Amino acid sequence: MKKSTIGFQIRTRNTRFAMAAVRRGLNLLLISLIGSVVIAQEIDHALWQERLLILVAPSADDPAIVRQKRALRDAGDALAERRLRIIELYSEPDSDDSGRLTPAQRRAIREGLGVASSDRQLVLIGLDGGIKRRAPLATPLREILQQIDGMPMRRQEIEDRKRAGLPVTPP
C-alpha cells in the first residue's frame, strides 16, 4: 500500500511541475503573441502608407539615441519625403515617447522583434511591412536614407516626383 501512495505522490508532483511548465510556456506564448499583435497593428496602420524606423534603446537619455534623434530632427524634410515614421522603444517604463504602451506591451514588442532590453539598435520596416534592416543604433542616418532610396517603391516615388517637377531631397 505504501508503494502505491508513494507512486501517486510522485505522479502528482510530476504533474504539478508539468502543469507549471505548461503555464509558463503559455504565458511566454501569450506575451509573444501580444507583441506580435502590437507590432502587427503598428505595421498594419502604416502598411503601404509609411515606412517605420523603430529605435530601440534602454532609455530615452541613452547617448546613442540622443545622437540619432538629433540627426532625425535635422533631417525633417528627408524623412517626410520618404514617408518615414519614427517609433522609439525603451526598456525603462517611463521612457516611452508616446505613452501608449504598457511595460508588458514594450516587452512583448521587444520579444516580437527579437531585441533584448539592453540592445541599442534600429529596425527599418518597409512600406510592404517587411523588416528591411537591423543595425546598430549608431548607424549613420545617411546610410538608412540611402537604403530607402534604393528600394523599388522609393525609386518609383523619385521618378514620379521628377516627372511632376518636384524636387527630390537627397539623403
Reported as a single tens digit per residue, the pLDDT across 50-102 is: 898 999 999 888 999 999 999 999 998 999 999 998 888 888 765 555 556 67
Q: Which amino acid is at 36?
A: S
In sequence order, the 6+-apart residues with CB closer than 8 A to the CB of 96 are: 88, 89, 90, 106
CB contact at 8 A, 85 and 50: yes
The conformation of residue 95, written as its DSSP 8-state character, comes to G
Tell me the mean pLDDT in the region 9-31.
Answer: 49
In terms of DSSP H, where are the helices of 47-140?
63-74, 76-81, 103-113
Q: Among all chains, which residue has been given the C-alpha cell 502543469?
A: 19
pLDDT band at 129 (very low <50, low <70, confident <90, very high): confident
Tell me the mean pLDDT in the region 157-171.
Answer: 94
CA–CA dist 38, 21 (Å, integer) = 26
Per cent of the chain over pLDDT 70 is 67
Query: For residue 25, what is its C-alpha cell?
Result: 510556456
Specify the pTM. Answer: 0.71
Whether the per-residue pLDDT at 9 is higher than 60: the answer is: no
CATH number of 2-163: 3.40.30.10
Query: What is the pLDDT, as a whole number, of residue 147?
Result: 97
Q: At what angle do helices 63-74 and 141-149 cross, to 10 degrees?
A: 50
Count the residues in the chain: 171
CA–CA dist 161, 166 (Å, integer) = 5
Per cent of the chain over pLDDT 90 is 42
Whether the per-residue pLDDT at 123 is higher than 50: the answer is: yes
Whether the per-residue pLDDT at 109 is higher than 90: the answer is: no
